Amino acid sequence: MRIRVGITIAAAPVDVWRVIEPVERHVDWMADAESIRFTTTQTRGVGTAFDCVTRIGPFRTTDRMAIVEWNPTVAMGIEHRGVVTGRGRFTLYPAREGTRFTWEEQLTFPWWMGGPAGAFLARPVLRAIWRRNLRRLKATAEGS
């Protein structure tokens, strides 16, 4: 399943990066992220690994992730290594209005979560949640 959402933020890429760079603070703007616990001593950059407890309605899972791309003010890429596998990427593009921020995910659900059929059903729900998350990110970055 592939999902891509984006938003324009009235702040420079460096200011948006200041909001997304502290991974432990993603819970401030990601409504579905309940908590983040690092599993490495490193908390920034490629090689950082963490567990994110994610809750969507009555469903709760621990998403094991590792940062695989770290290009300050440009991109942050992660690899999902838990029950749901795949890759995600935040990209920041300079725009006339500030920053164009995109969030892309390529995810694979296990058979017991419905596999491709479960992903098909989850896609619109996740897209709606991530769009709301981007509105929260925008409000945070513009208020900083």
Q: Closest Cα partner for 122 from 134, 108, 133?
A: 108
Mean pLDDT by 10 residues, the chain (144 residues): 97 97 97 96 98 91 96 98 95 97 95 89 94 98 85
pLDDT single digits (tens) 69-102: 999 999 999 999 998 999 999 999 999 999 999 9
Block residue for tokens 């933020």: 9
CA distances from 44 to 7, 62, 71, 90, 103 (A): 24, 20, 11, 15, 19
Residue 144 has what pLDDT? Answer: 56
Question: Are 75 and 93 contacting, i.e. CB atoms less than 8 angstroms apart?
Answer: no
Residue 124 has what pLDDT? Answer: 95
Domains in the chain, please, with CATH? 2-143 (3.30.530.20)
